[in-house]
Structure 1
Amino acid sequence: MSRIGKRPIPVPAKVTVTIDGQQVTIKGPKGELSRVLPNEVSVAQVDGQVQVNRRDDSRPARQRHGLCRTLVANMVEGVSQGFQRRLEIQGVGYRAQVQGKNLVLNIGYSHPVTIEPPPGIEFAVENNVNIIVSGIDKEMVGNTAARVRAVRKPEPYKGKGIRYQGEQVRRKAGKSGKK
């Protein structure tokens, strides 16, 4: 049995869980998330906790058991606390700013790059070089942060570009002169 899948998910006081067949809807102080789970798993609410069980011992059911439990747990955490991903910009003259809801990046191209956030995602910038992507859907926050990072990935020679906070970039030696 999946060690992750069999753990119950505690539901905080301000969060309500509605289960309608395979549709799981979770409402909390930050918003509402909904997801349709595959038929191989079943979801039940017992004593203020959500339990994800698999219907049989087939291979697809075993594969999806822990995944579905983690997805539901992320939904509960998202509507109660929210998620955020931090990025940092390194490079001389590189900076970011928020205009309205959009993120505007000046990162060495001949033009500023504008990124529109998907619904439910917010951008914030600290000190012109620290970008914060926040929202209630963990998957959407991660995808949006990856899209921002993809605009100018950190390069291995000088380390310039956009990186996740705490990310280690493997550096390469540059050219060496003839001796």
Structure 2
Amino acid sequence: MSRVAKRPILIPEGVKISFDKKKFLVKGKLGILIYDINDNVQINYKNNKISFKIKKKCNANDSWVQAGTARSLINSMIIGVSQGYEKKLQLIGVGYRVSLVQNNIIKMFLGYSHPIEYSAPDEVQVIVPSQTEILLKSSNKQLIGQVAANIRSFRPPEPYKGKGIRYADEIVRIKEAKKK
């Protein structure tokens, strides 16, 4: 049995949910998110709480895995539409800078011979507070993580000087240079 699936989810105020056998819809002040429910998972809604169980006619271990996954993803969706998620990226390096060209298009100068333009999806809000910081906001946890990883992949931090794009809370271990 999954320990994650056993814990019920409390629905905060301002969040509306609806579901049938295949789709789970979460609606809040920051948007609408949809999740496809696995066939082996049964969702119960009672007294502003959501609980997860498995259906009787299925493999128990695999079904509990799916129930735990469904609980985790639906909990992330509820937090996303009520509070939202944000990721902060920093550019470390001489001459590295970023600017917002249009709504969700950023232009980055990362030491290459050309600038790099990246267009973020409409569900992700891009804010550039300074020339060396990027702030991403969204209600979808998976999407914001993927966008942050895509931006970071243009110039990941290197281990000798630490130059590159890194998450704000990331710790980069610097290697020692060669000794003579």
> TM tier, shorter chain?
over 0.9
Q: How many residues in Structure 1 have an aligned counterpart in Structure 2?
A: 177
Unaligned regions of 5+ residues in structure 1, if any? none
Matched, 1:170 2:173: yes
Task: Report which stretch shifted further, 118-127 or 144-153.
Answer: 118-127
Q: Distance in 2 between matches of 1:30 and 1:176?
A: 54
Native 8 Å contact 2:32 2:81 kept in 1: yes
Instruction: Judge conservation of contact 2:86–2:144 (CA < 8 Å) in 1.
Output: yes
The one-letter amino acid paired with 2:43 is V
- State whether structure 2 residue 76 is matched by structure 1 residue 74: yes
Q: How far has the Cα of 1:22 moved from its partner?
A: 2.5
Pairwise mapping of residues 105-144 of structure 1 onto structure 2 (< 5 A)? 105-144=108-147
Q: What is the RMSD computed on CA atoms of the aligned residues?
A: 1.2
Q: CA deviation at 1:59?
A: 2.0
Secondary structure, in 3 states, of the residue corresponding to 2:128? strand
Residue equivalent to 1:32 = 32
Aligned partner of 2:87 in structure 1 is: 85
Query: Paired residue for 1:98?
Result: 100
Out of 154, 157, 160, the residue aligned to residue 157 of structure 2 is: 154
Once superposed, which parts of structure 1, at least 4 consecutive aligned residues long, lie more than 4 Å away? Answer: none
In structure 1, C-alpha distance between the alignment counterparts of 2:161 and 2:117, rounded to whole Å:
24
Determine if contact 2:21/2:37 at 8 Å carries over to the other structure: no
Q: Distance in 1 between matches of 2:98 and 2:85?
A: 21
2:47 is matched with 47
User: TM-score, with normalisation over the residues of structure 1?
Assistant: 0.94
TM (norm. structure 2) is 0.93
Question: Does the CA contact (< 8 Å) of 1:22 and 1:42 recur in 2?
Answer: no
User: 2:97–2:132: 8 Å Cα contact kept in structure 1?
Assistant: yes
Whether contact under 8 Å (2:87, 2:136) holds in the other structure is yes
Percent same amino acid among aligned pairs?
34
Q: How does 1:4-19 map to 2 (within 5 A)?
A: 4-19=4-19
Report SS of the residue matched to 1:63.
helix
- Secondary structure, aligned partner of 2:145: helix
